[in-house]
Amino acid sequence: MRQRNKPWAEDMFADNPELVPTNPNERKGNWNDVFHNNNPIHLEVGTGKGQFIIGMAKQNPDVNFVGLELSSSVMVSALEKLLEENITNVRLLNENAQDITTIFAENEVSRVYLNFSDPWPKNRHEKRRLTFRTFLDLYRVVMKPNSEVHFKTDNQGLFEYSLHSFSAYGMILNEVSLDLHRSEMEDNVMTEYEEKFSAKGSRIYRCEAQFRA
């Protein structure tokens, strides 16, 4: 869905540097200082309008969450929610996923979330999928040993592709669910897309893929 352009978003980001840190590459290796604590850092790549990351932050006050979103017109909605909720353990970055190794140091991130990523269904666009091996390379650099990528989608083709990609990379597949909302998983935090698709009866797929040390 095409998002309406919000030219004022950049100004809003600039007005809230505590929640949207400027020059994030200068924070590389020092993200705990940004949060003023030593809690683990969880990264959501493609945070959208922020429902998931804010829900997770409420559920896990002892975890620091960073949401990465390329579209400023989308991310500004997440910032508005943050300001309304007065949550202190979330930061938002209007950055490209390809740049995470310039933003985070090695072993600085404890978990990565990929929620309802663009499936890029055409074969010629395979390298754009966030579960393609070059992205897995980036996640592994910034993540601690044995850390997990938590992945959710409504797209069966992308899910099957991602399971193969994770396995081919040598990752361990944990908690694979072919119908999340009929599973026994507790405390699932839904994204905006997840609510929309599940309300229409779409099946939600989920897995946890663990890097080997």
Residues recognised as catalytic? 118
Among 112, 4, 36, which residue's Cα sits nearest to residue 67? 112
What gap in Å lies between CA 139 and CA 119, rounded to an integer? 18
SS3 152: strand
Residue 179: both structure tokens together: 């119908």
| Residue 115 near residue 154, CB atoms below 8 Å | no
Paired tokens of 115: 């929620």
